């Protein structure tokens, strides 16, 4: 597999923000978000990825004590053989968070009833929705967000927002697709929605104020949280491998 880097740090955002995890960054991305902070994840000019077998990746991960793995990119799910890596990590009892950009279907990792397939039972997903500022909204696979259709569990959703237009789009997608319409039919109470600022583009307090003034996003069975990317406050924004 094409591996840009494997390193240990804290998860900077999402469900286990602040916990130590081992990052596996695969090379290649099918999108080009205007605010991308990891162009070395897809740009051959900036990247020195190496080919590694799954056995070599596992060996590298075993150097670190944590059982948390964060698989990221680029876009990790565009790789044909990523399913075998996910199986191997799950079978080795790693707790695997897959950070995916929302454009690649995650359906094949789940049974029809929304439970993870046995071979991926320790794998869960952080699915981005690309709002208009990214210029990538048209690439979203909306099945990934339709909890009423697929009843997915173990998924958290992330909306990276830069302005009011993005917040409005986030509200529309969250209320139309992600919120449960019937609490007795769909019990995906583990789903969490994160609103995250594009660094330097919007004041985080603007997102908080939007939330306070948007009753449609309050008091759902699916919590909506504002989050900041911890690593950008701990290390210089441009630093790699943290």
Binding positions for ligand SF4, rule: CB under 6 A: 29, 31-33, 36, 38, 41, 73-75, 101
Report CA-CA distances (Å) from 191 to 27, 75, 142, 153, 157.
Answer: 28, 21, 16, 7, 8
Least distance (Å) from ligand SF4 to the CB of residue 35? 7
Q: In this structure, what token pair is assigned to residue 111? A: 């049974």
Least distance (Å) from ligand SF4 to the CB of residue 115? 27
Longest Cα pair distance anywhere in the chain, in angstroms?
52
Least distance (Å) from ligand SF4 to the CB of residue 38? 5
Q: Which is nearer to ligand SF4, 145 or 179 (CB)?
A: 145
Reported residue count of the chain is 242
Q: Which is nearer to ligand SF4, 97 or 186 (CB)?
A: 97
- Say whether the peptide bond before residue 56 is cis (omega within 30 degrees of 0): no
Least distance (Å) from ligand SF4 to the CB of residue 141? 13
Residue 190: CB atoms within 10 Å: 13
Q: Which is nearer to ligand SF4, 96 or 136 (CB)?
A: 136
Nearest to 14 by CA among 223, 185, 186: 223
Q: Which is nearer to ligand SF4, 38 or 148 (CB)?
A: 38
């Amino acid at each position: 597999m094409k591996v840009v880097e494997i390193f240990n740090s804290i998860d900077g955002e999402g469900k286990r923000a602040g916990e130590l995890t081992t990052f596996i960054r695969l090379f290649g991305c099918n999108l080009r978000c205007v605010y991308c902070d990891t162009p070395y994840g897809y740009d051959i000019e900036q990247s020195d990825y190496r080919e590694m077998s799954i056995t070599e990746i596992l060996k590298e991960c075993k150097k670190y004590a944590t059982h948390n793995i964060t698989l990221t990119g680029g876009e990790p799910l565009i790789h044909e053989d990523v399913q075998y890596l996910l199986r191997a990590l799950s079978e080795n009892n790693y707790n695997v968070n897959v950070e995916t950009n929302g454009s690649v279907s995650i359906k094949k990792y789940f049974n029809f009833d929304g439970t993870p397939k046995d071979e991926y039972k320790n794998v869960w997903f952080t699915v981005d929705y690309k709002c208009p500022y990214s210029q990538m909204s048209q690439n979203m696979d909306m099945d990934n967000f339709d909890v009423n259709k697929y009843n997915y569990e173990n998924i958290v959703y992330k909306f990276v927002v830069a302005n009011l237009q993005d917040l409005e789009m986030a509200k529309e997608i969250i209320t139309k697709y992600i919120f449960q319409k019937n609490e007795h039919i769909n019990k995906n109470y583990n789903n969490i929605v994160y609103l995250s600022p594009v660094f330097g583009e919007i004041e985080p307090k603007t997102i908080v104020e939007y939330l306070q003034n948007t009753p449609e996003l309050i008091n759902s069975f699916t919590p909506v949280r504002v989050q900041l990317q911890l690593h950008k406050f701990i290390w210089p924004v441009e630093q790699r491998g943290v």
